[in-house]
Amino acid sequence: RLKPFNRLQVILQHLKMSKHTDSTAEVLLEKRGGAGIITLNRPKALNALNLSMIQQIYPQIKTWEQDPETFLIIIKGTGGKAFCAGGDIRAITDAGKVEDRLAQDFFREEYTLNNAIGTCKKPYVALIDGITMGGGVGLSVHGHFRVATEKTLFAMPETAIGLFPDVGGGYFLPRLSGKIGYYLALTGFRLKGRDVLKAGIATHFVESEKLPALENDLIALKSPSAENIADLLNSYHVKSKVDQEKEFVLDEHMEKINSLFSANSMEEIVKKLKQDGSPFAIKQLETINKMSPTSLKITLRQLREGASMSLQDVLTMEYRLSQACMRGHDFYEGVRAVLIDKDHSPRWKPAALEEVSDEFVDNCFKPLGNNDLKL
């Protein structure tokens, strides 16, 4: 048998080893050269973000922010399919049904992390290779640099599950050019590859296979400034030729998107789409008709208000909305229809836009007193 001291040494050695080489950890945090690297490591779950990952990432970002030897932060996902497909919705649903604290804690801590990324003093580089939706957008879009690849698939599909495009969606979506953000938020439309850059969500485009080289070059930079990092990213961006000639997928529809989605209410948007009657408008109507009427109304107001708010105020507002959704019906029904039973025929309550009163929507935006998110 080992002597107590030796046994402790073995345990410590094992802990030390497992910390660095444990491929089962849900998130890997390491320092290489001047870079802090966050690797989302749940490939089977498409790197979906859960509470324990958030609780590991947040303090690490805060530590690196203060560390004079850390010059930038890189975040990426494993498995080749996804950067991060979203938040761990199943866990939140289960918790919300039994009024477990997780339904409060998850959103509170996730939005606090989104804010930490948005206010991070060190350049923050998100390599959004593969599926990047919902919570994955929150981990990337508020940072300084977002590098898309030909494999990037971006969407904010929350209105289909009785939620709203959160994680600061009320901040970045209305700031995209024209009414693209409103269109993406209400319809859940998916952008792919270079279109993620053209829409203004990514800052750079680099071929997926070049990412390891880019990462090594970022790590090798000696005491870089934000400008040095931008120059390096630009040099990769300029060389990438994939889909360079293709025009933006929404180009031909931009005029319609800008006029149809500039209405003041969901009812008016629907009316405009009906009046327009073009194949594009009819397709959008079909999509919108599948979404939660409550979510659509909340989302439109969230974006209209968020357009002139700070990120902090938007996240505070979104936390109120998240808790309203946890108290409601549609979120649980949407998750059932899309993720659990997968019958894709949710029974929304109320079932029509006209039945969602202004008073109900107002209530979703009301402050929560001591339970408000404090940033």
Which positions are catalytic? 87, 135, 158, 166
Whether the Cβ atoms of residue 27 and residue 38 lie closer than 8 Å to each other: yes
Cα distances from 194 to residues 150, 159, 172, in angstroms, run 6, 24, 18
CA distance 248 to 254: 10
Residues 259/205/86/250 CA torsion (nearest 10 deg): 20
Torsions phi, psi of 180, nearest 5? -55, -45
Conformational region of residue 65, where left means phi above 0, alpha means psi within -120 to 50, and beta covers everything else: alpha
The one-letter amino acid at 121: K
CA distance 6 to 3: 5
Residue with tokens 């002597």: 3
Whether the Cβ atoms of residue 304 and residue 171 lie closer than 8 Å to each other: no
Residues in CB range of 352: below 8 A, 6 or more apart? 293
Tokens linked to 121: 């003093």
CA distance 111 to 335: 21
